[in-house]
Amino acid sequence: MTRRARTAVFLVLVLFLEGYALNLFAKESQSPYGPLNDEEKRVIDESGTEQAFTGKYTDLNLMGVYACRKCGAPLYRSDDKFPSRCGWPAFDNELPSAVKRSLDPDGRRTEITCARCGAHLGHVFLGEQLTSRDTRHCVNSICMVFESQDSKRLQRAVFAGGCFWGVEERMKNLPGVVCATSGFTGGRKANPTYKEVCTGRTGHAEAVEIIFDPTKTDYETLCMYFLEIHDPTEKNRQGPDVGTQYRSGIFYLDEAQKKTARKLLKILREKGYNVQTEVEPFRHFWQAERYHQNYYERTGKTPYCHTYQKRF
């Protein structure tokens, strides 16, 4: 092959790869909710603001997850939404690493954007003392899509099985799992700290919230795996961690999850396991402090009390 021919082949290959990359990027950046309309572009792409008290989510009080309108990434959970009477949906916490903060062009406010795609969401305000977290994410409804528990795209599951570091690490890389968050549930105190939960007096269990894509996995698969990465026969402990905060529990968000959990525990009992796992209705998930999120990934350590053992 002549030098000219080799050069022509090289150029064709470069053009092909560039076109493939652009096409791949377009597919990755395409919204699962369809293209933005003109008003959505004005707010999301041009950092605009919808008129106060006009957004469809301002007063919504249902259980679920709020996702980015532009890319579909989960941003907020309904547990962290509160009535601020400001005219826009308000949240006092975001999902770990889901929202980016930066100085607004006006030099006074702090803008919040989707960490995945950069879509404008609104602004965050501190020091207003509206909740115990003293934080208000003021978000445009038009920038989000609410996914309820019966969503075909994003659903939630909550499990407690000892130290949440290990449960989160084992669950987060399963096919279909969008994100896993360490936190607390099943207790009495609002927004408890890790130190408060460690006393055993708040009634909470260390738990992990799973947000998953029901088109790629299902609740039964997740629940079975959860029962195989910790010891469901231990009561109020897991390995070296002892106390009611380390209890084994499945916190169901709907009747279908309740039915599935009870079915799986019945199978284990029929196999001879002395199951101690509690099945409780889910009420509220309190996200743990930032330093607890992705603990093993950040530290490079290995989970010490969560190993896989086939039981089903």
Sheet with 205-212, side-by-side order of all strands: 278-281, 248-252, 155-161, 205-212, 177-185, 286-287
Torsion of CA 212, 284, 194, 203, to 10 degrees: -130
Q: Is 71 a catalytic residue?
A: no
DSSP character for 97?
Answer: T
Q: Is 138 a catalytic residue?
A: yes
Kind plus residue range of the DSSP H or E element containing 148: strand 144-148
Mind giving me the DSSP string for 70-89? TT--EEEEGGGB----SSS-
Catalytic residue among 71, 114, 143, 163: 163
Catalytic residue among 68, 114, 138, 179: 138
Compute the chain's Rg from CA coordinates: 23
Q: For residue 301, is it left (φ>0), alpha (ψ between -120 and 50) or beta?
A: beta
Count of Cβ atoms closer than 10 Å to residue 85 Cβ: 9
What positions carry a catalytic annotation? 138, 163
